[in-house]
Chain A
Amino acid sequence: MNFFGIRAIYNFEMARMRRTLMQSVASPVISTSLYFVVFGSAIGSRMGAIDNISYGAYIIPGLVMLSLLMQSISNASFGIYMPKFSGTIYEVLSAPVSYVEVVLGYVGAAATKSVILGLIILATAKLFVDYSVLHPFWMFFFLVVTSITFSLFGFIIGIWADGFEKLQIIPMMIVTPLVFLGGTFYSIDMLPEIWQTISLFNPVVYLISGFRWAFYGVSDIHVGISAGMILLFLTACMATIWWIFKTGYRLRS
């Protein structure tokens, strides 16, 4: 195992975060805080509770998940895309590092950033909304596993993308709508039956439901199914990355 290689990539990526604190941390924290202010404090105080949870507190897990997904994808996709774009990828490809080590470096750093960001957002939410965490272990489990999984997904996007536009397409056109329609602002029990059924095809529903259960002990879907779904997606991402490195797809001609 090339530990120095993993550490070099990891530290390089973390240094990028430190250089771009405004973009990496401040920007997502501020934009998520705006949701807390508007939907939590302002509008939330005039809305009824859902499952006996105040509306402001109810939306926190979904909003944290929104940031987590977006930042995990963004961090990891940008991390691997930039060396491809600038040409410095030659160094990684010619180094004595296995694909597992490359992924550990890039995805490990992206997931670390996302977890840090998620914790900062949770701390910031306390300033605006009162909430509690009923199952801290499971909260942390969903936070970490979701960060890793979507960082892997972002890594795949970064390898697939051959332009900056493609880096943005999936997060903006697919992930954001899935999060908004995945129960961030409502319980899917509130939807007509047909839309409840359709919602079950949205993978983000499972993430938000499981994450919310960790906070308040209530969920739209059994937490075991939520955990199983995220682990299934994690496995799918790992299999895709294995295939990418085996074939050299968009990396080695």
Chain B
Amino acid sequence: MQPDISVKHLNKVYADGFQALKDINLDITPGEIFALLGPNGAGKTTLISIICGIVNLSSGEVKAAGHDIVRDYRKARESIGLVPQELNTDSFETVWDAVSFSRGLFGKAPKPSHIKKVLKDLSLWDKRDNRIMSLSGGMKRRVMIAKALSHEPRILFLDEPTAGVDVELRRDMWEMVRHLREDGVTIILTTHYIEEAEEMADRIGVIRQGEIILVEDKDRLMSKLGKKELRLQLHSPLEKVPGELVLEPIELSDDGYELIYTFDSQQEQAGVARLLRTLGDIGIDYRDLKTRESSLEEIFVGLVHE
């Protein structure tokens, strides 16, 4: 299947010599939700800006919907909708006019029925005649999304879409993103909210200092890099980790009542069974045990600090 976004050997060096992107290679398949994670300044927004035509690339090749973004920029850009990170909106325009403007700008004939649908889907219909300056921050964010969807793009970029929005709106947006995916829209989002990626993404890409250091199916990433923790609550406190267990990745809590065993999810079977057997052999009783899986956030932090 031809990818909706294809990035090959992409480099970006700014005029001051700063290399923002280094040999980026990335394919995004139609209909998937791809989350691009990375710390501030990692190059997420630069990458999106290049694909959307806002920033010039230094070298490499980028295709959107099969069209080269430089040679065949019209076709490439027609297929893309962008919701930028900043709330950049016209203050004096009405919601209806602003969204209609975006549709025209992207070369589409007026289609009031589509604008109406988008505004209704985003709970903006009642505000259609309001000037944007009179809207709340959350509503402005919805207007940005409505503008990006006005020309019915098949690829949607969401750059930090839920930054600064309340929990309710964030949930609404997640719901909207899922609906868009059901309609066949490919979605690429950058986010600082790991739970957002964990909740929605099919695949995760991690970018660090301008380099893609990992692209992985989300579930596979969680199982591959995720850590699990087993906490054993003991009947009697220990003074130190028993000698039979010192070679294991095991720690003793400060009060001595808890043994904490950390293991990779893939080693789960062998490691835990061996630990429990050893405890039985050396006569250490426990009254309870709990396991906890590491979150995507912990995986992400681990990756970017490697």
B91, B103, B106: most-surrounded residue (chain A CB, <10 A): B106
Give the A-binding residues of B (Cβ under 8 A): 14-15, 52-56, 73-78, 80, 82, 84, 86, 88-93, 97, 100-110, 147
A248 within 8 A of B: yes
A8, A11, A91, A252: most-surrounded residue (chain B CB, <10 A): A91
Q: Is the CB of A94 within 8 A of B147?
A: no
Q: Is the CB of A96 within 8 A of B107?
A: yes
- A237–B82 Cα distance when bound, in Å, is 32
Q: Shortest beta-carbon distance, A9 to chain B, in Å?
A: 7
The interface residues of chain B lying within 8 Å CB-to-CB of A91 are: 82, 102, 105, 147
Supposing A96-B73, A252-B56 touch, asked if A90 and B105 sit within 8 A by C-beta, the answer is no
Interface residues of A in 1-48 (CB under 8 A from B): 2, 4-5, 7-9, 11-12, 15-16, 19
The interface residues of chain B lying within 8 Å CB-to-CB of A94 are: 52-54, 77, 80, 82
Query: Could you list 20 examples of A-B contacts with CB < 8 Å?
Result: A2-B74, A4-B104, A4-B108, A8-B102, A9-B105, A11-B104, A15-B97, A19-B92, A88-B88, A91-B105, A91-B147, A93-B54, A94-B80, A96-B73, A96-B74, A96-B75, A96-B77, A96-B107, A253-B55, A253-B56
Q: Is the CB of B89 within 8 A of A88?
A: yes
With A8-B103, A96-B76 known, 15 other A-B pairs at CB within 8 A are A4-B104, A4-B105, A5-B104, A5-B105, A5-B107, A15-B93, A15-B97, A87-B84, A88-B90, A90-B82, A90-B84, A91-B82, A91-B105, A92-B105, A95-B106
Supposing A5-B107, A94-B53 touch, asked if A12 and B88 sit within 8 A by C-beta, the answer is no
- In the complex, what residue of chain B is closest to A88 when comparing beta carbons? B88
The interface residues of chain B lying within 8 Å CB-to-CB of A8 are: 100-105
Going nearest first, the 7 A-B pairs with the smallest beta carbon separation are A8-B104, A87-B88, A96-B74, A96-B77, A94-B52, A2-B107, A95-B105
The interface residues of chain B lying within 8 Å CB-to-CB of A7 are: 104
Q: Shortest beta-carbon distance, A16 to chain B, in Å?
A: 8
B55, B92, B107: most-surrounded residue (chain A CB, <10 A): B107
A52 within 8 A of B: no
Q: Shortest beta-carbon distance, A101 to chain B, in Å?
A: 9
Q: Is the CB of B78 within 8 A of A96?
A: yes
Supposing A2-B107, A4-B108, A96-B75 touch, asked if A252 and B97 sit within 8 A by C-beta, the answer is no
Q: Is the CB of B90 within 8 A of A86?
A: yes
- A91–B103 Cα distance when bound, in Å, is 11
The interface residues of chain A lying within 8 Å CB-to-CB of B14 are: 253
Supposing A90-B84, A94-B82, A253-B56 touch, asked if A4 and B109 sit within 8 A by C-beta, the answer is yes
A238 within 8 A of B: no
A97 within 8 A of B: yes
Supposing A5-B106, A90-B82, A252-B54 touch, asked if A95 and B88 sit within 8 A by C-beta, the answer is no
Q: Is the CB of A96 within 8 A of B90?
A: no
Interface residues of A in 107-143 (CB under 8 A from B): none
Q: Shortest beta-carbon distance, B13 to chain A, in Å?
A: 11
The interface residues of chain B lying within 8 Å CB-to-CB of A12 are: 93, 101
- A137–B284 Cα distance when bound, in Å, is 105
The interface residues of chain A lying within 8 Å CB-to-CB of B101 are: 8, 11-12
The interface residues of chain A lying within 8 Å CB-to-CB of B97 are: 15
- A232–B168 Cα distance when bound, in Å, is 59
Q: Is the CB of B86 within 8 A of A87?
A: yes
- A88–B89 Cα distance when bound, in Å, is 6
The interface residues of chain B lying within 8 Å CB-to-CB of A9 are: 105
Q: Is the CB of B74 within 8 A of A253?
A: no
The interface residues of chain B lying within 8 Å CB-to-CB of A90 are: 52, 54, 82, 84, 88
- A238–B290 Cα distance when bound, in Å, is 72
- In the complex, what residue of chain B is closest to A20 when comparing beta carbons? B92
Q: Is the CB of A96 within 8 A of B54?
A: no
The interface residues of chain A lying within 8 Å CB-to-CB of B73 are: 96
